[in-house]
Structure 1
């Protein structure tokens, strides 16, 4: 059985490539967006189980994207895992306060990511 679809929103194609490789190897179906605006369009179309959202992106950052997701009737219920290279004291809380369901720092620990995804996917 294929697991639910994961949307990766990250402005760095290398991060997307690496995450997709790991997730596909674990049986997940993935789609990706190189900008928050593109990701929000994909998310609003439906069919997404979990979003892996890079918090530091040009134009619209992850905090703005999270705000829009949480204010939207179609998207508000979708779990969002904040992904960030910022691992300073307070960053985790800032992401969770902004509406993320969970937080993971880069470089991503695959085991930690799998444990998080198990909480939000079937």
Structure 2
């Protein structure tokens, strides 16, 4: 992921070793987009998303799920839970880059 993001140019990737640390980082750096693995140590991605949506400081952040759970029902569940997008592993690089570009452009006020 680091290599992919680095090649995209003006985007900075901040990695958190756990959801709990990620929540603290987000409260201090206000990212334009959160890419979140659904299977995290400690809190899972769904629990973390729920915590974000309850937090006034984090609730509006767009969150894209990353998961090896790729069945249509898995994707539907993720989107219904409130993820703004759902990408499956192995990641399709074009889809990842397009998704990131869409949210980054939206956050900067530019049209996708």
1:36 matched residue in structure 2: 19
Q: Could you tell me how far 1:89 is from its partner in structure 2? A: 2.8
Q: TM-score, normalised by structure 2?
A: 0.88
Q: Could you tell me how far 1:47 is from its partner in structure 2? A: 2.9
Are 2:36 and 1:53 aligned?
A: yes
Distance 1:44 1:91 in 2: 28
Q: Which region of structure 1 is more displaced relative to structure 2, 101-110 or 41-50? A: 41-50
Structure whose residues are more often helix by fraction? 2
Q: C-alpha deviations, 1:11-50, integer Å up to 9, x for none?
A: xxxxxxxx11101111121110011111111111133110
What is the Cα-based RMSD across aligned positions, in Å? 1.0
1:74 matched residue in structure 2: 57
Q: Could you tell me which runs of 5 or more consecutive residues in structure 2 were left unpaired when the two chains were aligned.
A: 106-112
Structure whose residues are more often strand by fraction? 1
Distance 1:98 1:44 in 2: 21
Q: 2:3 aligns with which of 21, 31, 37?
A: 21
Q: C-alpha deviations, 1:63-86, integer Å up to 9, x for none?
A: 000001111111111110000011
